Amino acid sequence: MQGKIISWQGRFKRLAEISKDARLKSFYQQGVPDPFSSLENTEFVALDFETTGLDPTKDDIVSVGIVPFDLRRIRCGQAKHWLVKPNCVLAEESVILHRITHSQIEMAPDLTQVLDEILYALKGKIIVVHYQFVEKTFFHAALMARLGEGIEFPVIDTMMVEKTAIKEHRSWLDWLKRKPIPSIRLADCRKRYGLPYYQPHHALSDALATAELLQAQSQYCLDPKTMVKDIWQ
Amino acid sequence: MEVEHQEIANFLEAYPPFTDLPSEALNRLACHVEVSYYRQDSEIFEYGQQITYLYVIRSGAVELLRRSGELYHRISAGGIFGHRGLLMNRKVRFDANTLEDTLVYCIPVDIFDEYCNEFEFFADYFEADDNARLKMTVSKHADSNDMTTAKVTKLILKEAVYVDQNSTVRQAAQVMADEQVSSLLIYDPAKPVIEDPEEDDAQVVGLISDRDLRSKVVAKGLPYDTPVADIMTTDVVLIDSNAYVFEAMMLMLRDNVHHLPIVHKRKPIGMLTLSDILRYESQSSLLFVQGLMEQKSVEDLAHYSTQLSTIFTRMVNEDANSHMIGSAMSVIGKTFKHKLLELAEAKLGPPPIQYCFIALGSMARDEQLLVTDQDNALILDNRYQPDKHGRYFEQLAKYVCDGLANCGYKYCDGGIMASNPSWRLTLDQWQAQFNDWIENPKPEALLNSSIFFDLEGVWGEIKWAEQLTTFVSKKAQNTPSFLAAMAHNALRRTPPLGFFNGFVLEQDGEHKRSMNIKRRGTAPLSDLIRVHALAVGSRKQNSFERLQDINEANILPKGKVLDLEAALEYIAIMRIKHQSWQIEQGDKPDNSLPPETLSEFEQRNLKEAFGVLDKAQSFLKFRYQNKAKMK
């Protein structure tokens, strides 16, 4: 997909110009949140998708969870959750994972029907995900398939935050001893901060779990004074 | 549209009062939750701040502190806090700090109010809880009034009023009138209180009360210049300033005394009267002792003893500390002996010579719990002649030991009981025995006999027991080889900690997958404390009091005494809680604690406490054993 983007501000300006879909155009026109503001003064939104599988070219999104928060509070009252009808077959294995059933999907709207709402919830906030590949590529691919154009946006990836923190704490001795690198799966990261176990694979729970993780990271390995531009990707 | 927060709802559902909410209401509540993360040792809020949320701990642990900085409560997952503030002007009542990394669910006050209005049980939960807690705060607030936690010194309203024994009764009456007291201590100024007197006597030689003036002076028409020494009561029961109020009360009820002088390092510092104490609510354990003294036969006593476990659990539930529970159980145990000896003497006739019945081990240390053997012995007058007196004391001892067994105090496996002729010795013989143990410390012999180094007189010539402890403390302090042997003994049992700081559990036997918290916790700790106590010449028997003497002697690195105190309290209280819990479950209490019954928080604290023991043992090894080797 995209390489390292030097300036998300510039990129959004450009995307606002070339975008054809009105919803996307307006999303880009809102601009990105202030890249120079510190984490402690930033409004975040944790985003999580459940998908039918792991291949963005074949699989599709089945649910979206969004939880707004800042470094002090996570506001469940403003959380959002959608089930959406994927444009591919819902495989048995994925049903077992996220426990969203065929009949539930039958009743669900298409992603484009709720796109307005989703973009509205994301607008003006820094999006936080755990493992950006899923959210970025699936969102892009899903819209590409439906609207003929994709979507780009900056994220703070709690997985990357964790990876960096681990790297900084790892001594050459650990390396020499081939001490295994700790797992950076969401549940394992949470464990390190004393966060409780949540049943994974529910977009809303996972988004909540991600928000809590960033709060915890901000107290241990992420300086709340850090500017957004230094860690978003 | 409100979305379902299943994780939050599922969690809340497991804890009252949320358990009883209809699921729809529960889900709606979950939707309004806000979440916050606090790392270990950070402040959530402090006294007086505005509060607009009810807090529920999702994971981690939180400590609530009073304004004075005193601990109010420690809570972990599922624990609720902040409601007192919400109910009282929306101002924080207790500082809240995290003890671990903590995730809290915050319920906005609007929802809290709404649910309190809508669901009666929901409101009741917080209000009832609030009242209960309020009561607790009130009683804690007047900390000096709470006899389960207060020491006698807190009840001293006035300094001790005393006159010297050469004063006349008129002078004494004048002092009593001036000071508005109903009793007066009489001291002997010629009896200086030095740091380490031969005898344990205090300066106090007697006591007079209003009643003495009435019945011994006025009624008898004695002249007013009669010296007080002629009319005073000389058999004065004293209490040490370290004692708890309830101990004082038990003593007064048991010995039927109404005035109890309080001495600090054997100097009188105050006087406690029964009315001082009765102003405070009576406690079940006190009434128990009183009731015990009224029993008429061994059968009555045995029947009465069945209540003991209830007293025990009640004290635990009232949050008594281990010292208080240990003391109460010991006082009760001593009262059983006391009563049985009374009955024995009534049956066998008065003793042909004087004797002292002594308690050994945990009862002497005031550290007795429910699961306990009887360890006791007899000190006989030096005039003892086996053929003349032997039969009497054999019968007496058998009567008491059998009686104790009937009352739930198991016979001692090691036969350390007065019913064993080896442990019915004259004072001189005991002294020779202790002398031999100290001068020729054979580790194997000491294994069994370390129990003898905690001894307390229960009945009869109690002074003899004190004479023995004085002898032991002096002799032991100056005998390094003995201290080394005791130190060696104290290292036999190690705390149940393994590699990677895990618990080491018993792998076989009846108590599989558990740890013996007495054998590997409280016992090695009191062994270790005993060695240091003997080394500094302390004559205290209780481990906490011994620690105070050790602290004053400054023989341990800075802070270590505090660590030991905390570790002993924690391990002891875990043992106590475990037993109390077993009783409430209808099980037989034991000392085998399965770690999985503890919260992560408790496990960590327990490991830390064992860690203190472990370090203290290394220090002991280094200090006494090496010294002995170098000699």
Per-residue pLDDT tens for B332-352?
Answer: 888 899 899 999 999 999 999
At B631, the pLDDT band (50, 70, 90 cuts) reads very low
Distance, CA of B626 to CA of B623 (rounded, Å): 6
Given this model, what pLDDT does residue B246 score?
72
Contact A199 B7 (CB under 8 A): yes
Residues present in chain B in total: 631
Which of A54-68, B154-168, B554-568 bottoms out in mean pLDDT, i.e. has the lowest? B154-168
Contact A76/B5, CB-based, under 8 Å?
A: yes
Q: Among residues of chain B, what percentage have pLDDT more than 90? A: 26
B35: chain A residues, CB-CB within 8 Å? 69, 73-74, 76, 208, 211-212, 215
Q: Across all residues in chain A, what is the average pLDDT?
A: 87
Structure tokens at B118: 């809508």
| CB pair distance less than 8 Å for A204 and B34 | no
Instruction: Please state the pTM of the whole predicted model.
Output: 0.51
- Torsion on CA atoms B457, B459, B461, B463, rounded to nearest 10: 30
Instruction: Locate A46 and state its tokens.
Output: 């944790």
Rg (CA), chain A: 18
Contacts of A74 in chain B (CB under 8 A): 34-36
What value does the CA radius of gyration of chain B take, rounded to a whole number of Å? Answer: 28
pLDDT value for B198: 45
What residues does B207 pair with on adjacent strands? Answer: B185, B233
Instruction: Check residue B144 and give its pLDDT.
Output: 31
A22 exposure class (CB count in 10 Å sphere: 0-12, 13-18, 19+) = exposed
DSSP label of B37: E
**For the residues B602-618, what does the mean pLDDT come to?**
86
Burial of B427 (0-12, 13-18, 19+ CB in 10 A): buried
Which tens digit of pLDDT belongs to each residue from A15-29? 999 999 999 999 999
Q: Closest partner residue to A198 among B2, B7, B34, by Cβ?
A: B7
pLDDT at B626: 57
Q: Which of A41, A17, A36, A44 is nearest to A123 (CA)?
A: A44
User: How far A117 CA lies from chain B's nearest CA (Å)?
Assistant: 12
- Residue B259 corresponds to which tokens in the numbers above? 């005035």
Which of B575-597 are b and which e, b meaning 16 or more Cβ less than 10 Å from the residue's Cβ? Answer: bbbbbbebbeeeeebbbbbebee
Is the pLDDT score of B235 beyond 60?
yes
Task: Tell me, yes or no, if B5 comes closer than 8 A to chain A by beta carbon.
Answer: yes
Q: Is the pLDDT of residue B499 over 70?
A: no
Q: Using CB atoms within 10 Å of the CB of residue B598, give its burial: 0 to 12 exposed, 13 to 18 middle, 19+ buried.
A: middle
Q: Which of B273-282, B318-327, B440-449, B484-493 ranks highest by mean pLDDT?
A: B484-493
Mean pLDDT of B364-389: 89
Q: Above 60 in pLDDT, residue B625?
A: yes
Residue A75: closest CA among chain B residues belongs to which residue? B34
Among B609, B612, B608, B606, smallest CA distance to B594 is for: B606
Q: Residue B120: which pLDDT band, with cuts at 50, 70 and 90?
A: confident
pLDDT band at B502 (very low <50, low <70, confident <90, very high): low
In angstroms, how far is the first alpha carbon of chain B from the final one? 84
Q: What average pLDDT does this structure show over B417-444?
A: 90
Would the CA dihedral through B454, B456, B458, B463 be positive or negative? Answer: positive
- Write out pLDDT tens, residues B172-220: 999 988 888 888 888 887 776 555 444 455 578 888 888 888 888 888 8
Instruction: Tell me which residue in A77, A199, A212 faces B103 most closely, judged by beta carbons.
Output: A212
pLDDT at residue B106, as a whole number: 94
Residue A123 has φ and ψ, to the nearest 5°, of -60, 135
Q: How far apart are CA A82 and CA B430, in angstroms?
A: 85
**pLDDT at position B252:** 77
pLDDT at B143 over 70: no
Greater confidence (B414 vs B471) lies with B471
A vs B, Cβ pairs < 8 A, gives 78
Contact B533, B568 (CB under 8 A): no
Indicate the helix (H) or strand (E) that contains B268. strand B267-273
**At B378, is the pLDDT very low, low, confident or very high (cuts 50, 70, 90)?**
very high
pLDDT number for residue B276: 67
Phi and psi angles of residue B255, each rounded to the nearest 5 degrees, phi first: -95, 5
| Phi, psi torsion values for B94, nearest 5 degrees | -130, 140
Residues B212-246: b if buried by 16+ CB within 10 A, e if exposed: bbeebbeeeeeeeebbbbebbbeebbbbbebbbbb
Contact: B30, A76; criterion CB under 8 Å = yes
Choose among B29, B33, B5: nearest CA to B17: B29
Across B113-138, average pLDDT: 65
Which residue bears the tokens 């607009």?
Answer: B52
Q: In this complex, do B101 and A194 lie within 8 Å of one another by their Cβ atoms?
A: yes
Q: Could you give the CA distance from residue B549 to residue B539 in angstroms, rounded to a whole number?
A: 9
Min Cα–Cα distance to chain B from A100, Å? 14
Average pLDDT estimate for B297-323: 81
> Do residues B94 and B47 make contact, with C-beta atoms less than 8 angstroms apart?
yes
pLDDT exceeds 70 at position A6: no
Confidence of residue A105 (pLDDT cuts 50, 70, 90): confident
Contact at CB, A220 and B5, closer than 8 angstroms: no
B313 contacts B578 by C-beta, under 8 angstroms: no
Residue pair A97/A49 in contact by the 8 Å Cβ criterion: no
Q: What is the share, in percent, of chain A residues with pLDDT greater than 70?
A: 94
Q: Looking at the partner chain, which of B34, B60, B100 has a beta carbon nearest the beta carbon of A74?
A: B34
Query: Residue B63: helix, strand or coil by DSSP?
Result: strand
Among chain B residues, CA nearest to A80: B3
Gap between the Cα atoms of A231 and A211, Å rounded: 16
* Across B79-93, B137-151, B353-367, least confident range: B137-151
Please indicate if any CB of chain A lies within 8 Å of the CB of B41.
Answer: no
Alpha-carbon distance values, B306 to B329, B403, B585 (Å) = 13, 14, 16
B136 exposed, middle or buried (CB, 10 Å; 0-12, 13-18, 19+)? middle
**What's the pLDDT score for residue B88?**
76
Reference B244, options B342, B356, B321; nearest CA is: B321
CA distances, B317 to each of A219, B286, B314, B330 (Å): 38, 16, 5, 19
Residue B22 burial (C-beta neighbours within 10 Å; 0-12, 13-18, 19+): exposed
Mutate to test the interface with A, among B6, B7, B27 (most CBs of A within 10 A): B7
In the predicted model, is pLDDT for residue B271 greater than 70? yes
- Interface touch A81/B60, C-beta < 8 Å: no
For residues A92 and A71, is the Cβ–Cβ distance under 8 A? Answer: no
Quickly state the pLDDT bin for B622 (edges 50, 70, 90). Answer: confident
Distance from C-alpha of B328 to C-alpha of B332, rounded to nearest angstrom: 6
